[in-house]
Amino acid sequence: MTTLAEYKRLLRKEPVAPEIINALAMDERSGAQALFASYKRKLMHSRQQEIMLEKHRQIERSLWPDYPAIAGIDEVGRGPLAGPVITAAVILDATFDVPVNDSKQLTAHRRDQLFADVITNARAVAIGVRDNRDIDKYNIYHATELAMADAVNNLRLQPDYLLVDAMTVPVNIPQMKLIKGDARSISIGAASIVAKVVRDRLMAMYDQVYPGYGFAQNAGYGTKVHLAGLRQLGITPIHRHSFAPVKDILNQ
């Protein structure tokens, strides 16, 4: 009789032979049935990932025949009281088979894993950055548009079509604005992960430069710790003067 340890070893080899799966399913030992249940859950998760991947590639697949270099564009950092707005532009091809999703729905560890996958396997990746001074000068919406244009212009490969999450990029390239695009397009989803990881790492660095505001944990958003830091320590060079809580302190 096959031992449980041997079953575990055999199940790690892909593809698993059908006779092994059948033998495991017929094995009445509780340990064998637990292994079989675990294997079925793994198959179901894998299938769900395949379905999600194909769903997120539908828009790109419809466009690739006419536009081989499609860049997904997304931003992060429109709401914080401090730090820049960061945008990312990512060009993928049909061989990219890593399921990505809205970065906000993922753990930090999973985002880091996917960030490495995107950076390694994308055809081109670039970021755009507009700091708090540009945000105060132009307003956050226009600063984000400019940062998106920066990301597109920074790509080493010129895109011939853009998929953009809920905004329009001020560049002369055909584009499609998608509401909740990071959950609908694999390219925008990849861009959301790149932008989020880059900004979180930058804000963690700022936490070392300007301690007391909790930037590593709140990424510059107006949490209790951040607001307490503003009251006690004042405004840093990375705070946005045009945002209400910061403006209120300036006017005191």
- Tell me, what CATH number does 140's domain have? 3.30.420.10
Q: Are residues 177 and 76 in the same domain?
A: yes
Looking at residue 61, its pLDDT comes to 94
Q: Are residues 115 and 212 in the same domain?
A: no
**Element at 75 (helix H, strand E):** strand 70-76
| CA–CA distance, 112 with 107 (Å, rounded to integer) | 9
Left if phi > 0, otherwise alpha if psi is -120 to 50, otherwise beta: which for 173? beta
Q: Are residues 179 and 210 in the same domain?
A: no
pLDDT at 38 over 90: no
Choose among 106, 189, 194, 186: nearest CA to 151. 194
pLDDT digits (tens, 9 = 90+) for 160-182: 999 999 999 999 999 999 999 98
| CA–CA distance, 146 with 169 (Å, rounded to integer) | 8
Would you say how long the chain is, in residues? 252
Q: Are residues 179 and 246 in the same domain?
A: no
Percentage of the chain exceeding pLDDT 70: 94
Given 183, 201, 219, the domain boundary residue is: 201
pLDDT digits (tens, 9 = 90+) for 95-150: 998 888 656 778 889 999 999 999 999 999 999 999 999 999 999 999 999 999 99
| CA–CA distance, 7 with 23 (Å, rounded to integer) | 10
pLDDT at 83 over 90: yes
Cα four-point dihedral sign 8, 14, 18, 19 = negative
Which range of residues forms the domain containing residue 154? 59-201
Q: Are residues 83 and 183 in the same domain?
A: yes
Provide the number of structural domains found in the chain.
3
Q: Are residues 211 and 237 in the same domain?
A: yes
Q: Are residues 189 and 110 in the same domain?
A: yes
Q: Are residues 156 and 210 in the same domain?
A: no
Q: Are residues 9 and 20 in the same domain?
A: yes
Looking at residue 56, its pLDDT comes to 77
Q: What is the CA radius of gyration of the chain?
A: 23
Average pLDDT over residues 41-64: 76
Looking at residue 26, its pLDDT comes to 85
Q: Are residues 179 and 209 in the same domain?
A: no
Looking at residue 10, its pLDDT comes to 79
Q: Are residues 92 and 192 in the same domain?
A: yes
Mean of all residue pLDDT scores within the chain: 91
Q: Are residues 51 and 120 in the same domain?
A: no
Q: Whole-model pTM?
A: 0.82
Looking at residue 221, its pLDDT comes to 98
